[in-house]
Amino acid sequence: MTKNSSQAVALGIDIGTSGARASAIDGDGNQVAFASSPFRSPDELRQPQAWWIRVQEALQALAQKVDFTSLKGVAVDGTSGTVLALDASNEPNGSVLMYNEPCPDIAVVERIAANAPPGATATGANSGLARAVHLSKAPAVATVVHQADWILMKLGCPGRISDENNALKTGYDLDRESWPAWLEAADMDICKLPAVHRAGRPIASVEGYLRQLGVRESAKFHAGTTDGCASYLATGASSIGDAVTALGSTIVLKLASDKPINAPQYGIYSHRVGDFWLVGGASNSGGNVLRAMIGDERLDELTRTIDPERWLGLDFYPLLRPGERFPFNDPHYLPRLTPRPADEGMFFQALLEGMTEIERLGYERLRELGSPILASLRTVGGGAKNPAWTRMREKALGIDIVPAKSVEAATGTAAMVLSHLDDENA
């Protein structure tokens, strides 16, 4: 295979829900080469050794397309809130809790709630902290790390190192840039948690597995990020006021802000990414509702029946079951799906109108809490491919939607590395 002659300078690796992906970009941020290795079965999603095998396969395939000797930095992103326990040799002891698995011990959740300060983002059964405390209690556990942390270690990065984005839901204090003392009262041994660096910062010289693929020792490992933050950066959004709506199984809003906004009462939290704060929240509405009520096979057909210039105004709030996170945080919030039109095309349009209103209310909520106004809007996820929905959203939000530069989280992670290549070396 002939390798791309463009010089790759930054490498991003993504561990997602479908497998591993690797992206190399040049000094202008353009993708030079991309490779992926999908999971072979649903079980691999929660098997650390499978993560590592797929990462190796993706990197080996990428190395056939581009020269690794020009790389200057590499980082990894992983699913936010996924944690695993390691033994003294830094190998998994078999205990993993994924991003969507609640802590199975209610006593752990209650102890965290009793000791967490007001507004803490690491509370609840679905917090990374609750999962970490639970895993840390198993025999022979030396440390608990995040998914991206362990892959970075397997690549050759010395020490147990994480980043602020992954560590946020495990209780990391972004203001003091340290693990807070209250974690000990919540029964989390801080000594079992990794050291934390700002996302994207260089942390160590490359050694280990990547050297075998041709990466030079002068290249640096960089602190990673979450898949959500990486997906935002992949789109090309990079300035205050730039927003990205992810229209996937759920609706996720992210907006670059000049200050953090944390409002747990509305399901809103902030990540620090470079020189700005990424604020936002996630609704329970989205593609999961369309899949259940319409079916993937009919979406294109019904889209052709929609007139995006004519608003039906049926005031739907599409949810599969009671409970919403954002822009309202109410576990008992009821779906609104009536009156249901007899015409399937009109029913589909009413669902899309309801989701469009959720997006509008989400950005309105962020603005009420002090976020900047929308300067630009990009879209990722399956819903981004629907032209009628795009037009409906532009009319409702009063802003043109800008095409995303990329939808690959690995490319966003590489872009993050590129932005930090000139930082002081580790």
Dist. CA 414–CA 11, nearest whole Å: 5
Q: Which of 365, 285, 270, 352 is nearest to 325 (CA)?
A: 285
pLDDT at 265: 81
Which residues neighbour 80 within 8 Å (Cβ) at sequence distance 6 or greater?
99, 128, 165, 166, 169, 226, 227, 228
Q: Which domains does the chain possess?
A: 10-227+409-419 (3.30.420.40), 238-402 (3.30.420.40)
Of 200, 202, 219, give the one whose Cα is nearest residue 211. 219
Closest alpha carbon to 170 in 182, 179, 161: 179
CA distance 244 to 366: 13
Q: Parallel, antiparallel, or unpaired for β 73-78 and 10-15?
A: parallel
Rounded Cα distance, 190 and 136, in Å: 10
End-to-end C-alpha distance for the chain, whole angstroms: 35
Which letter, b or e, does each residue of 252-280 get, where b requires 16 or more Cβ atoms within 10 Å of its Cβ?
bbbbbbeebbbbeebbbbbbbbbebbbbb
- Alpha carbons within 13 A on the beta-carbon side of 378: 22
User: What global pTM score does this model have?
Assistant: 0.90
Candidates 234, 253, 111, 86; CA nearest to 184 is: 111
- Structure confidence at residue 374 (pLDDT): 95
Residues of the chain with pLDDT under 70: 1-2, 5, 424-426
- For residue 186, the one-letter residue type is A
Nearest CA to 286 out of 419, 389, 182 is that of: 389
Distance CA 416, CA 273 (A): 9
pLDDT confidence of residue 1:
63
